[in-house]
Amino acid sequence: MSEEHQEVPASEEGPVPVLRWDLGLFEQIVRSFRFPPEWDARYPAQGQTAADAPPGYITLYEDFFLQGNFRLPATNFLGSILSYYQFHISQMSPPGMVRVRHFEFLCQSHGIEPTVDKFRSFYQLQRTMGFFSFASRGAAKKILLNPPKSFHDWKPKFFFIREEVVPVAMTFREWTEAIPKEDLPIPKTALWYQQLTPTPNRVFGENVLVAAKMSDQWSPSSREVPVLKLGDQG
């Protein structure tokens, strides 16, 4: 196996991002994240764009997985975010995915149910360069520290997969549609708000995401037990 096509490792800190996107690396994604055959993940044909997903399929980006801790099938929380903001997952940028999954991880690690209303206490919808993401709400504390500063050439690194992996009905949001300015009260006295302390962005391996209920891709033959640690406590 060439140096370019080494297996994507799944350490405690998560897989190492790759810098190129070709058929070999797509196949690594399929193997590393255990896509079953019925999901029918497809590498795009020459000349196809991210907008060319066949009927019954959606477009996903490599950096969702390698930088944003995204896993399939998508969690109910991610589905609720897509339903509330009324945009398609293929319209979300990797920075948006990072913020959604980081928030979900914080909630799950503290035993707090992640909800759209809680998420909106920290973030507001924004759009940049044709994609939707989320910006910190000015009056709220910043819970995401050290987010990725850039995503290198992420737009060409896409593939198609059966739409059932995201269990919500999604619509494409018009780019010209106005985004209402939300002026929400910040629940500073709520216990759950106080518990969600600022935390650096990290890319986690499967053991951590399984323990946080953010992935069900755990090998039945594994002798390891997924454990989530907060500080020195398991």
Model confidence pLDDT, tens digit, residues 34-76: 999 999 999 999 999 999 999 999 999 999 999 999 999 999 9
> Model confidence at 189, in pLDDT bands (50, 70, 90)?
very high
Residue 230 lies in a domain: no
Residue 43 lies in a domain: yes
Residue 164 lies in a domain: yes
**Between these two residues, 161 and 206, which has the higher pLDDT value?**
161
**Between these two residues, 11 and 78, which has the higher pLDDT value?**
78
Structure tokens at 205: 């391996």
Q: How far apart are CA 24 and CA 17, in angstroms?
A: 14
pLDDT at 17: 44
Does 232 have pLDDT greater than 70? no
pLDDT at 151: 83
Provide the phi-psi class of 34: left if phi over 0, else alpha when psi is between -120 and 50, else beta: left
Over residues 24-34, the pLDDT tens digits come to 999 999 999 99
Residue 47 lies in a domain: yes
Over residues 134-185, the pLDDT tens digits come to 999 988 999 999 988 778 889 999 999 999 999 899 999 998 888 988 889 9
> Model confidence at 228, in pLDDT bands (50, 70, 90)?
low
Domain count for the chain, please give it: 1
pLDDT at 148: 85
Percent of the chain at pLDDT exceeding 70: 84
Residue 94 lies in a domain: yes
Q: How far apart are CA 34 and CA 222, in angstroms?
A: 14
Residue 224 lies in a domain: no
Residue 27 lies in a domain: yes
Grouping H, G, I as helix, E, B as strand and the rest as coil, residue 159 is strand
pLDDT at 204: 92
What domain range is 56 assigned to? Answer: 3-211
R_g (Cα) of the chain, nearest Å: 18
Residue 51 lies in a domain: yes
Alpha helices in 59-205 (DSSP H): 62-66, 76-85, 94-109, 116-120, 191-195
Does 9 have pLDDT greater than 50? no
Q: How far apart are CA 184 and CA 137, in angstroms?
A: 9
Grouping H, G, I as helix, E, B as strand and the rest as coil, residue 62 is helix
